[in-house]
Amino acid sequence: MISFPNAKINLGLNIIRKRADGYHDLETVFYPVLGLRDALETVHGNTGDGALSFTYSGLEIAGDTGHNLCSKAYHLLKKDFPELPALQMHLHKVIPMGAGLGGGSADGAFTLRMLNQQFGLGLSETALISYALTLGSDCPFFIINKACYATGRGEQLENITVDLSTYRFVLINPGIHVPTGWAFSQIHPDTPLQHCKNIIQQPVETWPGVLTNDFEKPVMQAFPDIQAIKEQLYQQGALYAAMTGTGSTVYGIFSKNTSLSFDFPDHYYIYQG
């Protein structure tokens, strides 16, 4: 079986409070970017130990591949469904990692969805979301994979109506790693004046200066190249531009007929869709 885990962007991101368990309560709108996708395939394998053989291609995956979210998702289900057979799993990595695009989270969540379907585990969407939350705070969104207003750690999801299909998206990643722990340490949690789920119901042209990402100010002060990306997107005619997640990817939303000509270094990752 093969599937195509897609990226996401955050339309607004507000950190509201730090919780007693060390996590943060937040609010954001997750929006799927269906055109930017990895490819994930699972087939019955003969690994010799009744477990998982994982390989990958495309972008480099840092660290022990046995600890990536695809592998973790398989072993998470294997605990409750020991009848899961040995598998060969291959991931072709396209979505930049550590970029605020949720690529790893998507891979983990799609693994859960695929195994549920492929082997008839009978797990409901609610159950899959519960498993996904074990993998990470962004993972539950990719079980639904439609525009959602997210609260709590990001796992409390409310389907909302926001259709940006008539616009053109540009995503720019400069390859800068923004440490997540450091990014959260720069935030002073507060309740926003306007909730992002209400802001995004207004025309895109009204979003600048109103729909905000709390991480932008400290991250862009520390990494001026990220600020420069946002400025160039607006110079090119973006109706709205913002950093997604804790960065370092910045996206711009343009009218479909906008002619674009960027001047970014060759090592930047650029997606237009």
3-state secondary structure of 51: coil
Listed in sequence order, the residues at least 6 apart from 236 whose beta carbon sits closer than 8 Å to its beta carbon are 252, 254, 258, 260, 261, 262
Catalytic hit among 8, 93, 197, 230: 8
Chain length of the chain? 273
3-state secondary structure of 272: strand
**Does 217 participate in catalysis according to the annotation?**
no
Distance CA 34, CA 54 (A): 24
Distance CA 100, CA 248 (A): 6
Both structure tokens of 174: 């400069």
Catalytic hit among 38, 107, 138, 214: 138
Both structure tokens of 121: 């585990």
Distance CA 147, CA 11 (A): 10
Distance CA 131, CA 220 (A): 34
**Does 8 participate in catalysis according to the annotation?**
yes
Q: Which of 18, 85, 100 is nearest to 46 (CA)?
A: 85
Distance CA 245, CA 9 (A): 7
| CB of 70 closer than 8 Å to CB of 91 | yes
| CB of 172 closer than 8 Å to CB of 241 | no
Catalytic residues: 8, 138
